[in-house]
Amino acid sequence: MNHEELISQLKAGNEQAFRHLVESCQDMVYNTVLGIVQDMQEAEDVAQEVFIQVYRSIGTFRGEAKLSTWLYRIAITKSLDWQRKKKLRKGVNIVASWIGIGEPANEPVHFYHPGVQLEQKEKAAIVFKAIQSLPDNQRVCFLLLKTENLSYEEVADILQLSIKAVESLMHRARENLRKKLVSARH
């Protein structure tokens, strides 16, 4: 089934077409989400939300961008929304625990990406923590280019920016990461 047929079938509510979309894009969506949320269980939940959103809103897809570009946009938006909500929940939990009406907020100490070899996990945890501290736009740009191996043109399409803007974001992300990693060593 070609790209246009798939979109047509999805818009018609064809469950087989939706199943095909999920099967062919689930790794891409999960890896994108995982790079941002850095929690495997949460990434599964957010990835599921991405496909629910796609199912509900496929009728609004205008085809001005590739379907994969649209999926990346939804995955990024859902992931960043999840992070904002998590920070809010964490703040509420901390305040609640201060006044004695809640449990202390527990945060995982380290995030280990499943693709990182065992002997590199400690270094990877430091790198992932540094990546998490980048501003959203730099972090998303960095992750799409480096973990998803997308081209600058593809990232520009996904983020709806110029290639120059993507290059600038990537440059700033590298500089910020370099500074954070140098200070982490000392």
- 48 and 137 assigned to the same domain: no
Compute mean pLDDT per 10 residues along the chain, 186 residues long, and list them: 87 94 95 92 95 94 90 95 74 48 47 53 74 92 89 94 96 92 76
Question: Are residues 29 and 50 in contact, defined by beta-carbon separation less than 8 angstroms?
Answer: yes
Q: What percent of the chain has pLDDT over 90?
A: 58
CA distance 123 to 116: 10
- pLDDT of amino acid 56: 94
Count of structural domains within the chain: 2
Structure tokens that stand for 165 in this block: 């803007």
Examine the fold and report which residue of 89, 108, 127 is the final residue of a domain before the chain moves on: 108
- 22 and 102 assigned to the same domain: yes
> What b-and-e string marks burial along 168-183, b requiring 16 or more CB atoms within 10 Å of the CB?
ebbebbeebbeebeee
Examine the fold and report which residue of 108, 123, 141 is the final residue of a domain before the chain moves on: 108
Domain that holds residue 114: 110-186
| 19-57 per-position pLDDT tens digit | 999 999 999 999 999 999 988 999 999 999 999 999 999
Examine the fold and report which residue of 78, 108, 138 is the final residue of a domain before the chain moves on: 108
- 100 and 146 assigned to the same domain: no
- 100 and 127 assigned to the same domain: no
